[in-house]
Amino acid sequence: MHLLLSWDATLFHFINTGLSNPVFDALLPFCREKWFWAPVYLFLALFFLTNFGTKGWIFIAAMAVAVGMADFTSSSIIKKNVRRIRPCNNPEMVVQTRVPCGSGYSFTSSHAANHFAVAVFIIGLLGDQRRWISPLALLWAGLIAFSQVYVGVHYPLDVICGALLGAAIGWWAMKTLSFFVK
C-alpha cells in the first residue's frame, strides 16, 4: 500500500507541477466547473428528447439516477469512510493549487465518478449507432478527471477509482434501462 501511495503522490506531483503551463492554467480550472458544461448537458437533454420522443425523458431520468448514485456513493459512502485528505490540504505535499481547495475528503473523486457515469451511460445507449460517441465521451470525462489532479484537489488514484466507480454505475444504469425499455 505504501508503494501505491508513493506512486500516486509522484504522479500527482508530475501532473500538478511538471505539466504546468499557461494554457492548462487558464483552461483546466473551468473544465471542472458544472456551469462550464451546462451547454453539453442541455444538448444531451435536447438530443434525447428530439431523437427518442417520450423515451428521451426516460433516458434523461435514468442518466440522472446514474449520476445521483455515483455522487452519493462517492461523496456519502466512500469519502466519509476512507477520509483521505486532499493533496491541497496535505501539509506534506507541495501543491500548486489553482482553485479553492475545499474541506471535504479526496477519495474518490465525485467529479470523475459523476462524469464517467454519464459517459459510459451514453456510450452504452448510443455507442453502437454512433461510433464517434465513445471516444468523445471518454475524452470529455477524462478531461474533467485530469483537471481535478492538475488543479491540485485530487490525487490520480482518486480520479481513477472515481472513474471506475462512475463507469460501473453508468453501465449498470444503462443495462437496467435496456431491460425495461426496448
pLDDT at 181 over 90: no
Give the up-direction half-sphere exposure of residue 18: CA atoms within 13 A in the CB hemisphere: 7
Percent of the chain surpassing pLDDT 90: 80
Average pLDDT over residues 141-157: 96
What is the 3-class SS of 10-48, one letter each residue? HHHHHHHHHCCCHHHHHHHHHHCCHHHHHHHHHHHHHHH
Distance CA 77, CA 85 (A): 15
pLDDT in tens, 32-83: 888 899 999 999 999 999 999 999 999 999 999 999 999 999 999 999 999 9
Q: Residue 145 and residue 115: Cα distance in Å, rounded? A: 8
Predicted confidence band of residue 94 (pLDDT cuts 50, 70, 90): confident
pLDDT at residue 132 tops 90: no
Alpha-carbon gap, residue 50 to 98, rounded angstroms: 39
Prediction pTM value: 0.92
> What's the average model confidence in pLDDT over 76-98?
92
The answer to whether 108 and 155 have CB atoms below 8 angstroms apart is: no
Right CATH for 19-180 from 3.50.50.60, 3.40.50.1980, 1.50.10.100, 1.10.606.20: 1.10.606.20
Q: Is residue 130 scored above 90 in pLDDT?
A: no
